[in-house]
């Protein structure tokens, strides 16, 4: 019996050592210590041992059992450690690998140009206001001294919703909306989308943007208009920019003018950019017409003011030397990424 016990112990320890993985190790455990295991059966055959030898034999079996259990536990631990080691090695993360680039969008050239215009005018104390894109005929035309038979009101120029409501063709209506609500002094710019029934080409689009500007106060003169817009031109296009005013006609200003800036590409000598002129037209302006002031209950004897309207796309095209307006609306990333 003793020899059998010794043999079981030795063989089991060998099997444990060569078991290799946790599954095999478990098989070894069941084969020895399980219900039908070798050691269990040996204990069951205790009845064959002489009664006086039983305690000593029992002790031997228990000792063998403890040793086997310790060996099993040991082997299990080593194997688990080895397994963890292998997992750590195979699941290693290379933190030095370059990451996937996040594609962040950025501002559209129109937006960049608008923010620049807003920065310049808010710096001079102007407020930025907005008006509706779907506008009343009254604000878009009538209150601006544009008579019923004016060509700008033609259906070929204007998108009408009905007789009284239309998609605004200019931001000038915001002047009236502001003057109706606010008493002078007023200093405001009003950027926004406008609509005209134009075919798309390199310089036209049925939808584009304008920035309206207006100042109303006591003793405002054409000299204030010139000084303000000359300053704007310098900030927008460079310190050396000169301005030139040409007489023009707008129904809502008197006198009216168009303003040109000296070509910032050639400095005024004449180049391909300014078509040899040395000057580039950038906006319309004038002294607010007394009829427009009166319509808003502002006394033209007491107050005067100037107004101007700039095309936002025109500024963006000039500033970034883009030669086709359509590029601004196509949203081609290869184009937009350049700004
Ligand atoms: N609204 C005019 C246009 O669309 C631009 C303009 C000219 C606005 C003169 C003004 C102005 O405020 O005084 O052509």
* Segment 252-301, tens digit of pLDDT: 999 999 999 999 888 889 988 888 999 999 999 999 999 999 999 999 99
> Is residue 97, in this structure, part of any structural domain at all?
no
For residue range 17-73, what is the model confidence (pLDDT) as tens digits?
A: 888 888 888 888 888 888 888 878 877 877 888 888 888 888 888 888 888 888 888
Angle at 134 between CA 129 and CA 138, to 5 degrees: 85
Confidence (pLDDT) at 55? 83
> Is residue 99, in this structure, part of any structural domain at all?
no
Domain end: 23, 58, 90, which one?
A: 90
Co-location of 84 and 125 in the same domain: no
Is 313 touching ligand 1 by the criterion CB < 6 Å? no
Is 145 touching ligand 1 by the criterion CB < 6 Å? no
Angle at 217 between CA 179 and CA 223, to 5 degrees: 120
Co-location of 186 and 221 in the same domain: yes
> Is residue 224, in this structure, part of any structural domain at all?
yes
339 touches 320 (CB < 8 A)? yes
Enclosing domain of residue 28: 2-90
Confidence (pLDDT) at 130? 97
Distance CA 210, CA 285 (A): 13
Nearest CA to ligand 1 atom 7: 284
Confidence (pLDDT) at 76? 87
| Three-state secondary structure call for residue 208 | strand
Confidence (pLDDT) at 7? 85
Confidence (pLDDT) at 58? 81
Co-location of 188 and 139 in the same domain: yes
Tell me the mean pLDDT in the region 75-98. 88
Selected residue with higher pLDDT from 210 and 22: 210
Q: How many CA atoms lie within 13 Å of 334's alpha carbon, on the beta-carbon side?
A: 0
What pTM value is reported for the model? Answer: 0.71
Probe target for ligand 1 pocket from 285, 288, 291, with the most ligand atoms within 8 Å of CB: 285
The total number of structural domains in the chain stands at: 2
Co-location of 325 and 296 in the same domain: yes
Ligand 1 mean position to 238 CA, how many Å?
24
Confidence (pLDDT) at 164? 95
192 touches 209 (CB < 8 A)? yes
Co-location of 169 and 251 in the same domain: yes
> Is residue 102, in this structure, part of any structural domain at all?
no
Domain end: 62, 90, 118, which one?
A: 90
> Is residue 147, in this structure, part of any structural domain at all?
yes
Co-location of 274 and 137 in the same domain: yes
Co-location of 61 and 174 in the same domain: no
Is 170 touching ligand 1 by the criterion CB < 6 Å? yes
Confidence (pLDDT) at 38? 83
Domain end: 39, 59, 90, which one?
A: 90
Tell me the mean pLDDT in the region 301-328. 94
Co-location of 118 and 72 in the same domain: no
Co-location of 136 and 77 in the same domain: no
Is 307 touching ligand 1 by the criterion CB < 6 Å? yes
Confidence (pLDDT) at 335? 92
* Averaged confidence pLDDT in the chain: 92
Co-location of 53 and 186 in the same domain: no
Sheet holding 243-250, edge to edge: 127-128, 186-195, 207-217, 304-311, 279-288, 253-262, 243-250
> Is residue 95, in this structure, part of any structural domain at all?
no
Nearest CA to ligand 1 atom 6: 309
Probe target for ligand 1 pocket from 151, 167, 250, 286, with the most ligand atoms within 8 Å of CB: 250
């Amino acid at each position: 019996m003793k020899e059998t016990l010794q043999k079981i112990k030795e063989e089991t320890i060998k099997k444990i050592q060569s078991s290799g993985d946790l599954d095999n190790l478990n098989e070894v455990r069941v084969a020895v210590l399980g219900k039908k295991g070798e050691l269990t059966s040996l204990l069951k055959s205790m009845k064959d041992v002489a009664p006086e030898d039983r305690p000593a034999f029992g002790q031997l079996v228990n000792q063998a059992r403890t040793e086997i259990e310790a060996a099993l536990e040991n082997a299990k631990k080593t194997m688990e450690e080895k397994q963890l080691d292998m997992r750590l090695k195979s699941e290693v993360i290379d933190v030095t690998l370059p990451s996937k680039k996040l594609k962040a969008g950025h501002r559209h050239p129109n937006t960049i140009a608008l923010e620049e215009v807003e920065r310049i005018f808010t710096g001079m104390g102007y407020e930025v206001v907005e008006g509706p894109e779907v506008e009343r005929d009254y604000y878009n035309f009538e209150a601006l001294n544009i008579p019923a038979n004016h060509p700008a009101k033609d259906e070929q120029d204007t998108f009408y919703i009905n007789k009284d409501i239309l998609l605004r063709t200019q931001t000038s209506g915001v002047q009236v909306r502001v003057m109706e609500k606010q008493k002078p002094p007023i200093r405001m710019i009003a950027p926004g989308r406008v609509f005209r029934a134009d075919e798309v080409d390199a310089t036209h689009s049925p939808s584009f943007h304008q920035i309206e500007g207006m100042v109303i106060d006591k003793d405002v003169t054409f000299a204030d208009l010139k000084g303000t817009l000359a300053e704007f031109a310098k900030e927008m296009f460079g310190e050396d920019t000169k301005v030139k005013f040409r007489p023009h006609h707008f129904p809502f200003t008197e006198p009216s003018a168009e303003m040109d800036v000296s070509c910032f590409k050639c400095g005024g000598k004449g180049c391909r950019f300014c078509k040899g002129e040395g000057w580039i037209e950038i906006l319309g302006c004038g002294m607010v017409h007394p009829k427009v002031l009166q319509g808003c209950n502002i006394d033209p004897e007491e107050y005067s003011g100037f107004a101007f309207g700039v095309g936002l796309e025109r500024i963006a095209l000039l500033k970034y030397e883009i030669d086709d307006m359509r590029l601004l609306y196509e949203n081609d990333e290869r184009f937009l990424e350049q700004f």
